[in-house]
Structure 1
Amino acid sequence: MFVQAQEQQPVIGLPHLLERVVQFAPSLSADSASINIRQQQLHTTSFNWLPALRLSYQTDIGTNNNLPGGYFGYGMVPTNSRVREAGNSSSILTSIGAAAFEWELYNFGAYDAQRKVAESDVVTEEAKLVQSRYQLQAFTIDQYLQLMRLQDLRFIQEQNISRNGEIRRSVMALAKSGIKAGVDTSIASAELSKARLVQIDINNQIRQIQLQLAALSGMTPESIVADTGIEQHFINYLPEQLNDTISLRHPLLDYYHSLYNNSLYKEALVKKNYNPRIMFNAAAWGRGSSVSASDEFRALAKGWGLERANYLVGLGITYNLFDVKRKQLQLSTQKASTTYALKKLKEQQVVLQLSTDQANRELVTARERLSEIPNQLTAATAAYRQKLSLYKNGLTDIIELNMALNLLYRAEQDYTVAKYNYCKAIFQKAITENQVDQLIDPLK
């Protein structure tokens, strides 16, 4: 069984890389900013109960020529309350100053419902951040394992190039002495070139993964070298140390559960928004006019200032009877959203359980492969050495030697893939069951 030498360049451990990704990843920074928005909205709801106090003062010049009769103002017709027996087009100056106070004293729980929705919005955004961190953690682990696999394959390829180089040197020596035909040299050179091309492709794949992880972690691509030494740690790891139950605090379940609760709170808010409202109103105002109380048109300057003052205080209740249908329609829509959120939660529970079952099955299969592959690797190594010795002594041809070399090459690749699949299955189980910390803590 081959053992890979430790990379000459300093490696980065998986726990350290995960910490860097959590600290630097742009997507997590955006989600954190979104939480701040929801927190500010929650803070805003704390002041929804505040009353309104409006101050106004105006001075106007115009006529005071009116007739009795009601009309709808629509906010466009200025008030002119005096009714005159005869028309009068004289201009008058009037002044009015007012302070109007309005307070929604009680709305049968609407304020509390607004606050609970805002709090639920914050919880949902926080759960979304945790979910994003969880998904990014899973992606980083997958890429790290891929990097380990490719580094192993690169090491195998370097060995394969070295063996092909050794064969080529032997072929050239035998061809010069006339023991072997010159065509063997061409075949050996072609095999060596093919091995180098495969190495170029592996290096490109490694670079692509390094670039992706660099963008997430803020590190330079060259500094991201996986620690292949941890493979043996995970091969010796007993998967029984991980539970077979999905944690109730799983990030994916938490997020969908928060969506469901958020929709329930919005249902309650819809109901509360259509409840009656008890209002407290108060107003004080003063009037001034260039027309006296005895209907005398005085100098316009008399319209400045305030001559008469009034106040009004009242307590009232308002309720729109025709809001019942609107309430039913809006509540029906919100209940549909609640049902959808609940179904998504149940769907995620099924998906997670399926992932756990698949990971358990893959663990068993991967362990069986790891148990059998050493036999394949030992036999392939022995066959290659025998064929190489026979070839150097002129007892076999280049074709059979290349077949033995390819057999050894595939056995080494199979061993690398088996290690990768086993490590991936362990992490898949840990990720699905939200036990990654338990798995990587011994590596810190």
Structure 2
Amino acid sequence: MASICLIFAVNTTGFAQILNLSDALQRAVDYHDKIKSKQSFVQSTVQNTRFQNKQYFPDVTFGAQQSYGTINAQNGPLYAYGGLASAATSMPLAEQNWNAAFGSLYFANVNWNIFTFGKKTQQVALASSKEKVATADVDQIIFEHQVKVAAAYLNLLASQRIRFVQGKNTERAQVFFEMTSSRAASGLIPQVDLSLAKAEVSHARSLEIKSYDKELSYSKHFAVLLNEEFQTYQLDSIFNTTVPYISGDTIQKRAANHPLLTWHQRKIDESEQSEKYMHSQKMPTVNIVGVIQGRGSGFDWNYIQDQTAYSSSYFKGTGIQRSNFLIGGTLSWNLTNIFRYESKVKEQQFQTQSLKQDYSLMEKELSAQTELAKVQFQNAVDNLAETKVQLTAAQLAHRQHTALYKNGLTPLVDFTQALYSLNRAEIDYEIAQNNVWQAMLLLASAQGDISILLKATQY
């Protein structure tokens, strides 16, 4: 009873370790660093779109200022070049003095671009277009990576099957050696045949070791694509026992929904939106403003007549003694923008035209790739049928030569040739079986839909 439970537990564990292609694709998407980087960039574009939407809000500024100084003034012009300048609020006096007191200013300022003739709307739309481009870029990166993972999965599976075939070949060579050894010991064949049989075993083991090296190399590449530590994988055997099926409505003549085409279309949309944004820069802007302020000063109202009418007290100058408000509107229009942005609009139009031409070329290439993949798939299926014939014939020839060699009715060379033919036919069959699925992957890649490959495993 305990033995039965142990066997069941081992079988259950082994089954759980099988890595299906769909699980491998999902694991690659979840853990690959480049995809994570692109997804983070998408989130940044989402925040930029939200920021542009918030530009509809007015600018609301609160401020407070407290200062200490003199207020000597003089008739004359004042220009604040490059920033703020000092200004004294007093009538000019006859002489310089150093009377100083505290002053204060408190204000609230509202500046609202209430109507921009589409500038802000186009700016938000442009940010939204950039967000869609980034999202489409992630989708095409995910698809591209999934195709690489699927190809690596099938390559690793093919290398495992070739290693399995070479293992079977080693077993046959070992049986051949044992059979030759017993016949040589009884004097039925010369000792040189035993040496040749031993060399055949060594050659078979060497091929098995080389195939294992190849499997390890593919395992490493597959682990890198999954962003995992190096390990050996147990893959789904359905790709070794079945042939994919293509239904008539599965393959579309035009791969309009291909992630790469979608990404390019989003770039075209972004470029066209940039054109609209450039056009909007030619238009004026209507602003409304509102200001309320309170001021305080340590200088009394009659300071011009009496220069002793001031106080250096901090509390005297920082209170609110006078208040004002202002409400107004402005219309600003830089007329030279009409001519300045005309060249930018034309520049963007040429970029849009270039993107459209790239899109057209890529669409034609994908359509041609689809037709090529369909023919290659059919060729792979036909080639698999031929390798089945070769394998059946090689198996029959091997059985016949084995029986003849046991009874001394055929020479060693003929039996060795049958052994070679069987090994070559088995390898050709495994490669042809894998090539059918590789052709299906090529078709899914041209169509831009990895689910075509996954659905093919369900038949």
Query: Would you call these one fold, judging by a TM-score over 0.5?
Result: yes
Query: What amino acid sits opposite 2:390 in the alignment?
Result: Q
The 5-angstrom pairing of residues 286-301 of structure 1 reads 286-294=294-302, 295=304, 296-297=306-307, 298-301=310-313
| Residue 133 of structure 1, CA deviation | 2.3
Deviation at 1:38, TM superposition (A): 1.8
Distance in 2 separating the partners of 1:220 and 1:57: 60
CA contact (8 A) 2:290 2:327 kept: yes
TM-score (ref. length: structure 2): 0.85
1:318 and 2:332 aligned: yes
Kindly provide the CA deviation profile for residues 100-119 of structure 1, in whole angstroms up to 9, marking residues without a partner as x.
Answer: 22111111111211221222
SS in 2 for 1:48: helix
Q: Please report how far the alpha carbon of residue 219 of structure 1 lies from its aligned counterpart in structure 2 after TM superposition.
A: 7.4
Q: Which residue of structure 2 lines up, in the alignment, with residue 165 of structure 1?
A: 174
Residue pair 2:255, 2:446 contacting (<8 A) in 1 also: no
The code of the aligned residue for 1:300 comes to S
Structure 1 portions without partners, runs of 5+ = 1-5
- Identity %, equivalent residues: 25
Q: Kindly report which structure 2 residues correspond to 1:1-400, keeping only aligned pairs within 5 A, or say none.
A: 9-10=14-15, 11-74=18-81, 75-93=83-101, 94-215=103-224, 217=226, 224-234=233-243, 237-238=245-246, 240=248, 242-294=250-302, 295=304, 296-297=306-307, 298-301=310-313, 302-400=316-414
> Which residue of structure 2 lines up, in the alignment, with residue 3 of structure 1?
none
SS in 2 for 1:111: helix
Q: Which residue identity lines up with residue 310 of structure 1 in the other structure? A: N
Question: Contact between 2:22 and 2:454, CA under 8 Å: does it hold in 1?
Answer: yes
Going from structure 1 to structure 2, the CA distance change for 1:442 and 1:425 (only over 3 Å counts) comes to: closer
CA spacing shift, 1:238–1:311, aligned 2, 3 Å? closer
2:3 maps to none
Q: Assess, with a 3 A threshold, how the Cα gap between structure 1 residues 162 and 241 changes in structure 2: closer, same or farther.
A: farther
* 3-state SS of paired residue (2:257): coil
SS of the residue corresponding to residue 300 of structure 1 reads: coil
Deviates more, 1:394-403 or 1:338-347: 394-403
SS class of match (1:404): helix
Residue by residue over 1:69-126, the C-alpha shift from the partner in whole angstroms, topping out at 9 and shown as x without a partner, is 2232122421124352523222222322222221111111112112212222222222
Q: Give the superposition deviation at 1:362.
A: 0.8
The count of residues paired between Structure 1 and Structure 2 equals 437
Is the contact between residue 64 and residue 88 of structure 1 (CA under 8 Å) also seen in structure 2? Answer: no
Root mean square deviation of aligned Cα? 2.8
For residue 374 of structure 1, report the CA deviation from its aligned partner.
2.6
Shift of 1:349: 0.8
Greater shift in the superposed pair: 310-319 or 371-380? 371-380
Deviation at 1:211, TM superposition (A): 4.1
> 1: CA distance between counterparts of 2:252 and 2:68?
84
- Equivalent position amino acid for 2:90 in 1: R
- Cα distance between partner residues in 1 of 2:374 and 2:44: 41
1:303/1:436 CA distance change after superposition, 3 Å: closer
2:5 counterpart residue number: none
CA distance in structure 2 between the partners assigned to 1:370 and 1:182 by the alignment = 41
Q: Once the 2 structures are TM-superposed, how far is the Cα of residue 277 of structure 1 from its aligned partner?
A: 0.9
Do 1:267 and 1:335's aligned partners in 2 also have CA atoms closer than 8 Å?
A: yes
Amino acid at match of 2:141: S
Please give the alpha-carbon distance, in whole angstroms, between the structure 2 residues aligned to 1:333 and 1:181. 87
SS at 1:100's partner residue? strand
Bigger shift: 298-307 or 138-147?
Answer: 298-307
Equivalent residues of 1:26, 1:216 under 8 A apart: no
Taking a change above 3 Å as real, the CA distance of residues 364 and 319 of structure 1, as seen in their structure-2 partners, is same
Contact 1:242 1:430 in 2 (8 A): no
SS of aligned partner of 2:23: helix
Give deviations 1:335-378, integer Å, cap 9, x for gaps: 34323332332232122112112112212322321232233223
Task: Tell me the distance in 2 between the aligned counterparts of 1:335 and 1:260.
Answer: 10
Specify the alignment match of 1:427 in structure 2. 441
1:425 and 1:442, CA in 2 relative to 1: closer, same or farther beyond 3 A?
closer
